[in-house]
Amino acid sequence: MIIDRNHKNNNRNMIIINKMLGEVEKPGRYTGEEYNEIKKENDQQLIRIALAFPDLYEIGMSYLGFKILYDIINKREDSWAERVFSPALDFEKSLIKNDIPLFSLESFRPLSEFNIIGFSLQYEMSYTNILNILHLGRIPLRARNRDKENPLIIAGGPVAFNPEPLAEFIDLFVIGDGEEVINEIIDIYKDWYGKSENSSKKELLNNLVRLPGIYIPSFYQVNYHTDGRISFFQKNEKHAPFKIRKRIVKNLDKTPFPIAPIVPNIDVVHNRITLEVFRGCTRGCRFCQAGIIYRPVRERSVGCLLELAENSFINTGYEEISLSSLSSSDYSQIDSLTKKLVDCYQNRGVGISLPSLRIDNFSVHLANQTQRVRKTGLTFAPEVGTERMNKIINKNVSEEDLFRTVQYAFKMGWRRIKLYFMVGLPAETQEDIEGIIRLIKKVEMMGREKVGKKFSLNISINALIPKPHTPFQWVAQETEEELNKKFRYIIQKIRSNSISLSFSDTKLALLEAVFSRGDRRLGDVLEEAFRRGCKFDSWREHFNFKSWQESFQKFDLDMAFYAHRERGKDDIMPWDLIDCGVSKQYLWSEWEKAIQEANTDDCRQSICNSCGLEDICQEIGINRNNS
Amino acid sequence: MSYLYRMKYQKNGPLRFISHLDLNQLFRRVLLRADIPVELTEGYNPRIKVSFGPALPLGIEGWQEITEIVLKEPLAEEELKGKINKVAPSGFKILEVEEVSNKRIPLSKLLRQASYLFYLIPVDAIDANKMVYYHNKIEQYVKCLLDRKDIKIKKESKKGLKEVDLRPYISKINIFSKNNDRIIICLILNIEAGVCINPNPIIQMLADVVKDYFLIGKIIREKFISESLI
C-alpha cells in the first residue's frame, strides 16, 4: 500500500516496510499522506526537491519556514517539493537492518534520487542530524565528493548566518528570506539541468552564485594565523562576491503565505495555524540574534491577516490560531487584530494564542482577551535581575514593570507564571545573580498572597550563548564551572514547593557556543563526532559529550578557543562574508554601549539608530528620522 | 434539540499507524473543515461532542469502525457523509450514516464482538502441497488452543506486569487458504464489559506456528457484531 506508489517494489519489500512501520514507535511520522500533502505525477521533467528537516517529524512540522517553502515550490508546475525528517533511532536501525535508504514522505523516493535537497537550519545542535540524513540517504557527506549525479545540497535559515561549520558539507547557502530566492534557484537549476549532460556541477554553482543572497563556501579559501584566528578570506572564483547580502522580502502582504499547510495525522509540537503577523524586531536586545538578522520590521496588514486566518481555518480545521512574531504585542494593530479574531472564532471552537508577549499590562490585557475563560499559563522573559544588567543587555524592562504586570495577571485570574532568565552575561557580578533570586522570590510572594495554594511558578535559567551578528559576538562565554557554580547557588537559595527551576545543560551550552561562532575547521570535528555516533545532540538523552571531546582532540582543536575567547575589535569573524544588513561597526558600538551601561531606543519609538539598514528602510518606506 | 448520528467509517492506509487519540483529534479537524453544525461541550474549553467505538491497536486496519457525533441541527444522512468525505484525509472514509437520536444505546453496550482478519504470506513461493501442510498445522494448533481451559499471557500495564487470560475472549478462529499465495485467518473476539482486547498476542501465537516460512501481512478489524445480530 505504501511503497508501491511510485516505485515498483515487489510484494516482499512492501511487507518489509509495513512490518518496519508496525514495529517502531509513532509510525505516523513516516507514512506521509496527511491532509493537504502535495502529490504530483511522477514526470521525468519534474525538478524533484526534498525539503529536509534535521530533527523528528513532530519538530520539523512545527516550523513555518518549512511550510512556506513547501507551498511556494509546489505551486510551480515544473517542481515537486517533498519532505524528509530525521528518523528516530528505532526507525533508523530498522532502515539499516533492512537495507532501505532514507526516503521522502510523499513518494517514498530515496534521497539520492532527488535533484535538490534543502536543509532547514534552525539550531546548531542539529548539525550531526544533517550528516546522518545524508548518510542514510546514501549521499556523500562532503560537497567536494559529490558531482552532478548527486543532489545539489542547499541550506538556509537563521543558523545559515554563520554557515562556516557546515562549509564542507553544503554546496550552497541561502542567506535571509527564502521566498523569492528559492524560485530563482530553481529557475537556474532547471536551465542547467536541461543541458547538464555537457555541463558540470561547477558551472551550475557559477550560475547560482550570481544570485544575491547566495553563499557558496567552496568558492572561498580561509587562511589562518598561527594562533588559530582567521587572517584573510580568498576567492577562488571570479564571480563570487566578497559580501553576501541577505535577502529581504519587502512587502509581506504580497509575499506568499501557506494557507493550506499540511495537517499532520499525529500530534506535533505546534499543531495549529501559525499566522506570521510581522517579521523582524528592533527592540535591540544585545544578546538576541533574531532581533538583528530578521530586520527590518515588516508588518502584514490586519485585512491580509484576517483573510489568511479564514482561509487557513477552512483548509485545515485547526482549533487554534497562533499569532507569531518575535514580540507579538509590538504589532502596531495588535489590539484590533486580536479583537477581530476572537470575535470571529470564539463561537466556532477556535482559540487564539499569543506566544511571545512583552512584559506590560497591555500584553496581559491582550492575553485576557484571547483567553476570556480558561487561563493557562503566562510566560515572560525578564532575562535579568538588576537595573544595571538591564542596561547592558538593553532589554529596557524594569523590575516595576515586571511586578506590575504579574500583579495584573493575578488579578485577571492567572495562576501559573513562567519566567525566563539568563546568566553568564558580560560584566555579570554576584549582585546580578542575587537580583534574579530577589525577583523570583518577590514574584513568588506576590503569587502566594494573591493566588494562594494553586499558584505555580516555572523558572527557566539559561546560559548566554554569544551569537554571531549580535553586539555580544565578541564576548567570551563563561566556563561550565562558573555557570554551574551560579546555578547551584540559585538552587540553594530558592527552595519552594510552588517553584520549579530548570537550567540549561552547561555542556550542551558550551558546544552550542562553539558551533555558533565556529569556523570551517570544525567540519572535521563534526564528521568525526557523527562517525562516533553523535546525533540528536539537543536531546539530553542522546547527547554524548565524551564523543565530542574525543573528536576535538583528534583534530587538535580546542573548544575553549571558540567558546571562551574574547574577540578583539579587528578580529576577522568566520561569518564576516555574510552581510546581515546591520553593520559590524554598529554592532561594535552597541557592544561599547553595553559596557558603558547605556540604552539604545527602539527605532520604532524613537529616531533611526543607523544600524546599517537605512537604505532598505527607505526603499520599503519606513522613515524613522521624522518621528 | 440535539441530533445523534452513528457512523461507520474506514481507518486504513496510512491512518492504521495513528493512535486512537490522534484519530480523535484528526476527526475533530475534519468536522471543523467540513463545517458540520456540531454541538460543543459546555465548560471552559468547548469541544466537539464525538465518541468512538473500541480503540484500534496501531497497525491494524479498520473496515467498519464506529463513531457517534452530536449535531445542533439535523442534516440529511447522505449530505453529512458527503461533506465529511470531501475533506477527509487519505485513509479515513465514512461508509454509512444513521440518525439514532431515538435509540441511544451506548456503544459500549451495543457492540458484542469484533471480527479480525489477517494474512500469513509465504516468505518464498511455495507449492499447493506445502500450503495444505502449513494450513493443517495451524488448524491443529488452533484446535489445541481452543481446548485449553485458559490462555494466560503477561501484559505490561502501568502497574507492571499483569496476567491476562485470553481464552474467554476468543469466540472463533477460522482458517482459509487462497491460491497458494497466502493463508487467511478470521478471528472473532468477544467484547466483555466494554473491553475489546488487543488481538496481536493471539495473532502472534498463530503466526509463530509457521514462523520461519510466513510473515504476517495485513491485519484487519473487519467489523463489529452488535447485540441485535446475535
> pLDDT digits over A383-393, tens only?
999 999 999 99
- The DSSP line for B174-202 is EEEEETTTEEEEEEEEE-BTTB---SHHH
- CB pair distance less than 8 Å for A267 and B216: no
Q: Are B165 and B220 part of one and the same domain?
A: yes
Containing structural domain, residue B118: 110-229
* Residue of chain A with shortest Cα separation from B89: A35
- Residue ending a domain, among B71, B104, B137, is B104
Burial A465-475 (b: 16+ CB within 10 A, else e): bbbbbbbbbbb
Nearest CB among B38, B89, B215 relative to A35 is that of B89
As a whole number of angstroms, the distance between CA A86 and CA A61 comes to 12
Q: Which residues contact A355 (CB under 8 A, 6 or more apart)?
A: A322, A323, A324, A328, A379
Average pLDDT over residues A439-465: 95
What is the C-alpha to C-alpha distance for residues A314 and A308, in angstroms, rounded to an integer? Answer: 10
C-alpha distances (whole Å) from B188 to each of A429, A620, B177, B199, B223 are: 72, 69, 18, 9, 10
The strands making up A273-276's β-sheet, listed across from edge to edge, are A273-276, A320-324, A351-353
A595 touching B (Cβ < 8 Å) = no
Q: Cell numbers of A265, please?
A: 495525522
Domain closes at, from B48, B75, B104: B104
| B115 plus B194 within the same structural domain | yes
Look up residue A12 and give its amino acid: R
User: Are B133 and B174 in a shared domain?
Assistant: yes
pLDDT score at B230: 42
pLDDT at A364 (0 to 100)? 84
How many Å lie between the alpha carbon of B169 and the closest alpha carbon of chain A?
Answer: 24
Residue A13: the pLDDT is 62
One domain, residues B120 and B195: yes
| CA separation for the pair B224, B112 (Å, rounded) | 7
| CB < 8 Å from A in window 159-198 of B | none
Distances in Å between the alpha carbon of A228 and those of A222, A522, A573, B143? 11, 12, 12, 77
Greater confidence (A455 vs B160) lies with: A455
pLDDT of residue A350: 86
- Closest by CA to B121, choosing from B216, B221, B218, is B216
Of B14, B33, B46, Cβ closest to residue A314: B33
Q: Please tell me whether residues B55 and B117 are part of one structural domain.
A: no
**What span, in angstroms and rounded, lies between the C-alpha atoms of B93 and B96?**
9
Q: Is residue A19 over pLDDT 60?
A: yes
Q: Are residues B90 and B184 in the same domain?
A: no
The confidence score (pLDDT) of residue A4 equals 38
Which chain A residues are within 8 Å of B21, Cβ to Cβ? 267
Burial of A347: CB neighbours in 10 Å, binned 0-12, 13-18, 19+: exposed
pLDDT digits (tens, 9 = 90+) for A310-366: 999 999 999 899 999 999 889 999 999 999 999 998 888 788 888 878 888 888 888
What tens digit of pLDDT does each residue of A24-77 get?
A: 999 999 999 999 999 999 888 899 999 999 999 999 999 999 999 999 999 999
Among residues B64, B83, B104, which one ends one of the domains?
Answer: B104
Q: pLDDT of A412-426, one tens digit each?
A: 889 999 999 999 999
What pLDDT sits at residue A509?
97
Q: pLDDT tens for residues B180-194?
A: 789 999 999 999 887
In this prediction, residue A484 carries a pLDDT of 97
Looking at residue B45, what is its pLDDT? 65
Query: What distance in Å separates residue B70's CA from the closest CA in chain A?
Result: 15
pLDDT digits (tens, 9 = 90+) for B116-155: 999 999 988 888 888 999 999 999 999 999 999 999 988 8
Residue B217 Cα, gap to closest chain A Cα (Å): 6
Asked if B28 and A374 come within 8 Å (Cβ–Cβ), the reply is no
What is the reported pLDDT for B179? 74
pLDDT tens digits, residue range A352-381?
888 878 888 888 888 888 876 566 788 999
Are the beta carbons of A318 and B29 separated by less than 8 Å? Answer: yes
Nearest to A267 among B22, B89, B215 (CB): B22
The pLDDT confidence band at residue A149, using thresholds 50, 70 and 90, is: very high
Å between A200 CA and nearest CA of chain B:
40
pLDDT tier for residue A291 given thresholds of 50, 70 and 90: very high
Shortest CA distance to B131 belongs to which of B206, B204, B185, B182?
A: B182
Are both B46 and B152 inside the same structural domain?
no
A140 alpha carbon, distance to own chain's centre: 26
User: Scanning every residue of chain A, which has its alpha carbon at the shortest distance from the alpha carbon of B26?
Assistant: A265
- At A500, which helix (H) or strand (E)? strand A499-503
Cβ within 8 Å, pair B21-A1: no
DSSP B104-166: ---HHHHEEEEEEEEEEEESS---HHHHHHHHHHHHHHHHHHHHSS--EEEEEETTEEEEEE-
Question: How large a percentage of chain A has pLDDT more than 90?
Answer: 84
Average pLDDT across chain A, whole number: 93
Q: Quick one: B93 and B115 in the same domain?
A: no
Residues making up chain A, counted from first to last: 627
- Check whether A448 has a pLDDT greater than 90: yes
Are residues A317 and B44, on separate chains, in Cβ contact within 8 Å? no
Q: Are A469 and A587 in contact (CB under 8 A)?
A: yes
Rounded Cα–Cα distance for residues A439 and A395 (Å)? 16
SS3 A75: helix
Q: Domains of chain A, with CATH numbers? A: 3-245 (3.40.50.2300), 272-521+557-614 (3.80.30.20)
- Give the count of beta carbons closer than 10 Å to the beta carbon of residue A243: 8
Q: Do B61 and B84 belong to one domain? A: yes
CA A320-B92-A106 angle, to 5 degrees, is 80
Asked if A319's CB is within 8 angstroms of B28's CB, the reply is yes
Residue B226 confidence (pLDDT): 86
CATH number, domain with residue B135: 3.30.70.100
A141: Cα separation from own chain's centroid: 23
Q: Give the pLDDT of residue A521.
A: 98
Specify whether the CB–CB gap between A239 and A210 falls below 8 A: yes
Instruction: Give the closest residue to A308 by CA, choosing from A67, A134, A609, A503.
Output: A67
Chain A residues touching residue B29 (CB < 8 angstroms): 35, 263, 316-319
Q: How, if at all, do strands A456-463 and A499-503 pair? A: parallel
- Please give, rounded to a whole number of angstroms, the shortest distance from the CA of B33 to a CA of chain A: 4
Q: Please indicate whether, in this complex, the C-beta atoms of B32 and A11 are within 8 angstroms of each other.
A: no
**A7 pLDDT more than 50:** no
Q: For position B93, which CATH number holds? A: 3.30.70.580
Q: How far is it, in rounded angstroms, from Cα A596 to Cα A426? A: 12
User: How many inter-chain contacts (A to B, CB under 8 Å) are there?
Assistant: 86
Best of A3, A39, A266 to disrupt the B interface by mutation (most B CBs within 10 Å)? A266
Residues 14 through 73 of chain B touching chain A, CB cutoff 8 Å: 14-15, 17-19, 21-22, 25-26, 28-34, 38, 40, 44-48, 58-59
- Indicate if the pLDDT at residue A5 is higher than 50: no
Put simply, whether A265 touches B (Cβ < 8 Å) is yes
pLDDT in tens, A520-569: 999 999 999 999 999 999 998 899 999 999 999 999 999 999 999 999 99
| Chain A residues within 8 A of B47 when measuring between CB atoms | 349
Q: A202-207: long-range contacts at Cβ-Cβ below 8 A with a sequence spacing of 24 or more?
A: A204/A148, A204/A152, A205/A171, A205/A172, A206/A237, A206/A239
Q: What is the pLDDT of residue A14?
A: 62
Chain A partners within 8 Å of B90 (Cβ): 33, 35
Whether residues B87 and B26 share a domain: the answer is: yes
In degrees and rounded to multiples of 5, residue A154 shows phi and psi of -120, 165
Helices of type H across A294-429: 302-316, 334-345, 361-370, 387-393, 399-411
Give residue A2's pLDDT. 40
| Confidence at residue B156, expressed as pLDDT on a 0 to 100 scale | 80
One domain for residues B98 and B115: no
Averaged in consecutive runs of 10 residues, what is the pLDDT profile of chain B (230 residues)?
Answer: 94 94 95 92 76 92 95 95 97 95 81 94 88 93 94 84 91 87 94 88 94 90 78
Q: Do A374 and B30 touch (CB under 8 A)?
A: no
Residues of B with CB below 8 A from A15's CB?
Answer: 121, 215, 217
Distance CA B20, CA B172 (A): 26
* Residues 6+ away with beta carbon under 8 Å from A556: none
User: What is the nearest CA distance from A353 to chain B, expressed in angstroms?
Assistant: 14
Cα gap A627→A222, rounded to integer Å: 44
d(CA A232, CA A572): 7
A614 touches chain B (CB under 8 A): no
Q: How many domains does chain B have?
A: 2
Give the pLDDT band of residue A195 (cuts 50, 70, 90). Answer: confident
pLDDT for position A373:
57
Record: contact B29-A319, CB cut-off 8 A: yes
Residue among A63, A45, A188, A43 at smallest CA distance from A119: A63
On the question of pLDDT at A199 being above 50, the answer is yes
Q: Are residues B39 and B149 in the same domain?
A: no
Min Cα distance A37 → chain B (Å) is 9
